[in-house]
Amino acid sequence: MQDRGHLLTELRNPNSLHVDTMSTEQAFDMMNREDAGVIAAVAAVKKEVCATIDVVVDAFRRGGRLIYVGAGTSGRLGVLDASECPPTFLSDPRMVQGIIAGGWDALRRAIEGAEDSPDDGAAAIDEKEVDERDVVFGIATGGTTPYIHGAIDRAKARGARTVFFACVTAEHVPDNADISIRVLVGPEVVTGSTRLKAGTATKLVLNMVTTLAMVQLGKVYQNLMVDVNTRSNRKLVDRGTRMIQTVTGLERSAAHALLDASEGHVKTALVMHARGVDRPAAERLLAEHDGRLAPILDTERS
């Protein structure tokens, strides 16, 4: 059995040694201070995260996918990030995908042994038919998960670009990925519970990767999520209407009517209004500008 006691994620945190006897207020303050350090740890890997974003954008532009692979909390966070992209950015669900060791049942309950087989990780990559257009992003906060290393190795063999995320040093746990992101958040408040600071760091990095990649693809105008799927619920119809009001200055009823005329597509509605064209013409303009609104609506910003 491998001794993992030397890894950062397994060490005891001196600041939480007596959490079991602290008052609720004392424990809150201690945990809040620990969480605050996650931001600095993520900032320290800016170069690697930015490189990952650039690689992902290139993959999307070539028709490739971003595929997260994780186990336990790491796998759930990858699946969560992937599942939130289509409603937020109206992206094809195939663009960002999540693989979790143990399959979909592992989203709802722990299947701890599922992470121990590198062959299963490799098989998951084969099942996705990964190729040179794709990016495979392995998440293993403790760094040692065999399933993730098996997935990374198989992805590289199939020609994909690879990213590895961990909260331990490469010196202690090396990897074979093209980009290695090591967010060193230090020991957890509850020893070994990487759903805490390590999980927070994972969520922050995944947020940046998909959000900024989608921004570069033109799915955000200014800071508005103009590719939101307004057909999914009333809240998003309201949000789409308000976005049109914000950009155009139209009254709410007129903005809502414009959204209807665009078949619920905020970007199309904005082009229709700005250029005085019908929906098909607006869609052609967007296609000519790779889906980006700035060159169409505001030449100074483009």
What is the full DSSP assignment across 205-244?
Answer: HHHHHHHHHHHHTT--BTTB-TT--TTS-HHHHHHHHHHH
Strand order in the sheet with 179-182: 96-100, 66-70, 135-139, 161-166, 179-182
- 132 catalytic per annotation: no
Written as one letter, the residue type at 82 is: A
Instruction: Characterize the bridge pairing of strands 135-139 and 161-166.
Output: parallel
Q: How far apart are CA 155 and CA 31, in angstroms?
A: 38
From 10, 34, 48, 84, active-site residue: 84
Q: How far apart are CA 89 and CA 250, in angstroms?
A: 23
User: Do the Cβ atoms of 84 and 78 come closer than 8 Å?
Assistant: no
Tokens 């974003």 -> residue: 53
From 115, 283, 288, 300, active-site residue: 115
- 115 catalytic per annotation: yes
| 127, two tokens | 């099942």
In 10 A of CB 50, how many CB atoms?
13
Q: Which residues are catalytic?
A: 84, 115
